């Protein structure tokens, strides 16, 4: 039988007209885009057609496999400690404001003798990146070779580092294109993007934190549920034991947004304190990860007992960081006062994310530096009563000309009422 011949235009037309792509079409177009045979403008048109027309589960699974196939796969099945195999588990968040959970969670789970290979990214836009946060620690380095990561996982259990360019290179190229063509928010493309990297990373199990609300990609519960169900199915079909939690992202997590500020808050959690919501979500995700790794334990014990803090110190030191070095402090701060007295009924996560970003905590373009000390401290969260003139926020930056833009973003961020709002559950649902 003659081999099928493919071309980009007929593949775009097929999806534009609402038909499913064949396995052969998907394999070809993903490979041809990665090697440059399919032009960026053609892939942009196809991404828009996918956003508007959707994909069947079979198509998403094949697209994911094709993206994995463009790069290398890591293998942690050989990890050992004391001659025994180490189970592996990982967590991925779809991104939120003040989402520093990876920082306390990774050493907490590692403190139970589980390896947590966390390949993380840098922030772009209003959500922060885990690597940017950790780089606020003096000396800490994000780049580990595969051999260094393997050795660190065996020695200390946790490693948070930059994903090398070898994992799913098709995704890297496609994500950059989606970012500038209004096609980020397509469930098939988000699901395949996240899961291609996580499957290629080689973890045996995975917990997904799928955010819902004003500060998340997925604004509605229905969209978030569809994304979570799609990713759980992709993981399972590829042999990665996957569970998802749907969690609220209308309000920022904790009381800080910004790199060094979030490290400080994470250290409070590792010291047995910290904001209730950060502790609650850290423990909820740790329970899921430990269960998937076959460990029967209550993770609250290792937060209280200091074992998670010991694992944090070992993990930071292993990557050249000084866990005792003071965190950077911004050269300038400004308070934003409450315009009147009342009870806070809402705090808009997106507004806080944008303010932190404008203060210098985030970047506008890939590769730009970020300020380690910039960000927002939130003094009032929903349910708190405030007096007129009391600070609602403290803004931190090294470049004070940024204050006005950040304050403008926060102008309508807080809503007030007479009584505390009904408490929204932080963990909305579990999908397995």
Report the residue from 70, 89, 193, 319 that binds ligand URA according to the rule CB under 6 A. 193
Closest to ligand URA by CB, 238 vs 390, is 238
Closest among 203, 240, 1, 171 to 90, alpha carbons compared: 203
CA 230/CA 234 separation, integer angstroms = 6
Which window, 190-198, 304-312, 408-416, 423-431, contacts ligand URA (CB under 6 A)? Answer: 190-198
Find the catalytic residue in 193, 196, 205, 266: 193
Q: Record the tokens describing residue 153, joined without a space.
A: 């996982």
Closest CA to 232 of 245, 220, 223: 245
Closest approach, Cβ 112 to ligand URA, in A, equals: 27
Minimum Å gap between C-beta 206 and ligand URA is 13
Candidates 68, 167, 194, 289: give the one binding ligand URA (CB under 6 A): 194
Catalytic residue among 90, 99, 171, 248: 171
**Helices 187-201 and 221-237 meet at what angle, rounded to 10?**
40
| Shortest reach from residue 21's CB to ligand URA, in Å | 19
Distances (CA, A) of 307 to 216, 270, 271, 379: 32, 9, 10, 30
Nearer to ligand URA, 10 or 220 (CB): 220
Question: With respect to ligand URA, which residue has the nearer C-beta, 196 or 377?
Answer: 196
For ligand URA, the closer of residues 184 and 343 by Cβ is: 184
Active-site residue, 198 included: no
CB 278 within 8 A of CB 104: yes
* Residues 302, 332: Cα–Cα separation, whole Å: 37
* Stretch in the footprint of ligand URA (CB under 6 A) among 45-53, 182-190, 227-235, 355-363: 182-190
CB 211 within 8 A of CB 224: yes
Is 46 one of the binding residues for ligand URA (CB under 6 A)? no
Q: Tell me which of 178, 198, 211, 302 is the catalytic residue.
A: 178
Indicate whether 61 belongs to the interface with ligand URA (CB under 6 A): no
Q: Catalytic residue at 171?
A: yes
User: Per CB under 6 A, which of residues 84..143 are in contact with ligand URA?
Assistant: 94-95
β-strand partners of 344: 416
Residues 45, 51, 190, 356: which binds ligand URA (CB under 6 A)?
A: 190
- Answer for the pair 398, 360: CB distance below 8 angstroms, yes or no: yes
Residue count (the chain): 432
Active site residue 178: yes
Q: SS3 sequence, 109-149? A: HHCCCCEEEEEECCCECCECCHHHHHCCCCCCCCCCCHHHH
Output the smallest distance, CB 416 to ligand URA, in A: 33
- Candidates 33, 112, 175, 357; binder of ligand URA (CB under 6 A) is 175
- Work out the angle between the directed axes of helices 102-110 and 259-270 (0-180°, nearest 10): 40
Q: Does 6 contact ligand URA by CB under 6 A?
A: no
Active site residues: 92, 171, 178, 193, 197
For ligand URA, the binding residues (CB under 6 A) are 94-95, 175, 184, 189-190, 193-194
């Amino acid at each position: 039988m003659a081999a099928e011949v493919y071309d980009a235009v007929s593949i775009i037309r097929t999806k534009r007209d609402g038909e499913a792509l064949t396995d052969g079409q998907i394999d070809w177009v993903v490979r041809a885009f990665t090697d440059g045979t399919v032009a960026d403008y053609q892939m942009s048109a196809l991404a828009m057609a996918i956003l508007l027309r959707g994909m069947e589960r079979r198509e998403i699974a094949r697209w994911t496999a094709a993206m994995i196939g463009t790069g290398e796969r890591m293998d942690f099945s050989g990890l050992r400690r004391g001659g025994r195999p180490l189970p592996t588990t990982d967590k991925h968040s779809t991104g939120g404001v003040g989402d520093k959970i990876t920082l306390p969670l990774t050493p907490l789970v590692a403190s139970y003798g589980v390896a947590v290979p966390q390949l993380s990214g840098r922030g772009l836009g209003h959500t922060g990146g885990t690597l940017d946060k950790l780089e606020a620690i003096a000396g800490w380095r994000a780049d580990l070779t595969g051999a260094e990561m393997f050795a660190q996982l065996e020695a200390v259990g946790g490693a948070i580092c930059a994903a090398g360019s070898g994992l799913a290179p098709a995704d890297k190229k496609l994500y950059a294109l989606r970012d500038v063509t209004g096609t980020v928010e397509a469930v098939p493309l988000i699901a395949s993007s996240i899961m291609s990297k996580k499957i290629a990373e080689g973890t045996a199990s995975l917990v997904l934190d799928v955010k819902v609300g004003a500060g998340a990609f997925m604004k509605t519960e229905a969209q978030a549920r569809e994304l979570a169900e799609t990713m759980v199915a992709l993981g399972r079909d590829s042999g990665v034991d996957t569970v998802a939690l749907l969690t609220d992202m209308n309000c920022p997590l904790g009381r800080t947004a910004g790199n060094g500020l979030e490290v400080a808050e994470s250290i409070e959690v590792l010291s047995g304190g910290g904001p209730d919501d950060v502790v609650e979500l850290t423990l909820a995700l740790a329970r899921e990860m430990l269960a998937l790794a076959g460990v029967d334990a209550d993770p609250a014990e290792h937060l209280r007992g200091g074992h998670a803090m010991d694992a944090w110190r070992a993990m930071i030191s292993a990557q050249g960081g000084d866990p005792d070095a003071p965190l950077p402090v911004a050269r300038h701060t400004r308070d934003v006062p409450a315009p009147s007295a009342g009870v806070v009924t809402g705090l808009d996560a997106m507004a806080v994310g944008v303010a932190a970003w404008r203060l210098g905590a985030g970047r506008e373009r890939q590769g730009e530096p970020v300020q380690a000390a910039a960000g927002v401290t939130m003094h009032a969260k929903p349910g708190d009563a405030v007096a007129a003139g009391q600070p609602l926020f403290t803004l931190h930056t090294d470049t004070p000309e940024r204050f006005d833009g950040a304050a403008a973003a926060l102008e309508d961020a807080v809503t007030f009422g007479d009584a505390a709002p009904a408490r929204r559950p932080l963990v909305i649902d579990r999908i397995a």
